[in-house]
Each structure stands twice: as structure tokens, then as C-alpha cells.
Amino acid sequence: MIPHPDKAPRTGCISIIGMAAAGKTTIGRELAILLDCPQLDTDHLIEATYGTRLQTVCSVLGKDAFLDIEALIIGSLRVNRTVISTGGSVVYRPESMAHLRALGPIIYIAVPLPIIQERISRKPDRGLAINPGQTVEDLFLERKRLYETFATHTIEGGEAPPTVYAARIADWLSQP
């Protein structure tokens, strides 16, 4: 499936946003295979920059400083024809979202809260930019509006295999 020129120009990128545990990296990997292009995970870039796990970076820096570093890294991206899987907190910095929008369409993977909570509970050491005392539900509700605001297109996520969601995105990209 070849993306429609208005949605993903030959040099354009496709960015994937959504909550932690929504499947952004896995779906992004499958989408990159379908589109025959590279995939980049911004959380992995942050880990490589600091040489440690994302949760350690979040814990040491604190939420605001982490968001500033994430924005700096997002703003430095100079990539073409790439699927970009972002961290869930990318939506807190409008300049990051403006940069991603300039690169191409932004796809929001909307996964119901109970599924997000269950997935996070299975991997509690995942990097999560969260304030002390804030719950995953608080974070979900806070971010949901931001994801919807910045998204070019929304895919309802859940329990289907990642290939299903990647195919839905590719189908949308191929529509005029």
C-alpha cells in the first residue's frame, strides 16, 4: 500500500502518538514493514542519549526536565520517509508536535484505559513521565484531549494483533 501523496510525501514521515503501552513501537514496526521504510522510536533515542533505561532518565530528571529533553530530541529529528514511534508524553510540548506535524501525518493509537492499565501493570518499570501522586488514570484523562487535538487521524486500538492496526493505518494513508 503506497501512501497517498497528500498524507505522506515521498520524503515525509508518519508519527505515532498515544499512551504508554498503546503499542506505538510495535505497530510502528509493523507499519514500517508494510511501507518498506525505517522505524525510529524516540524513547530509544532518549535512552541512547543518556545510556540508561527511560524510567531512570524520568526518575532522575523529574517530569518537567524530562519533557524538555524529549522536546529537544524530537526537535532535532531530521529524518525522511520514516515511521516515528513517540513517547506518550510527546504531546505536552506544542513545539514537538509542530515539528512532527511538519514531518507528516500524526496517528493517534487510542486504547481504552483498562487495557492500558493492565499492560502497564505487566511492565511497571517502563518509562512513564508522571508526577508523584498522579495515577495512570489521571495521566490517561489528561493526555487523551491532547492526543485528539494533535492527531491527523485516530486508530482505535485494543486487543487485535499489531499487524491489524498497521494495516488500518496503511489503508488510511493510501486513501485520496
- Arithmetic mean of pLDDT, 147-171: 96
Residues 115-143: tens digit of each pLDDT:
999 999 888 777 777 778 889 999 999 99
Beta bridge partners of 15: 84, 106
Reported as a single tens digit per residue, the pLDDT across 95-117 is: 999 999 999 999 999 999 999 99
Query: What are the residue boundaries of the structural domains of the chain, listed by start?
Result: 14-170
User: Residue 17: is it exposed, middle or buried by C-beta count within 10 angstroms (0-12/13-18/19+)?
Assistant: buried
Question: Among the CATH numbers 3.30.70.270, 3.40.50.300, 3.40.605.10, 3.50.50.60, which is that of 14-170?
Answer: 3.40.50.300
The dihedral built from the CA positions of residue 8, 23, 64 and 79, taken in this order, carries a sign that is: negative
Q: Is 168 left (phi over 0), alpha (psi -120 to 50) or beta?
A: alpha
pLDDT reported for residue 130: 79
Q: Among residues 88, 94, 97, 50, which one has the least CA distance to residue 69?
A: 50
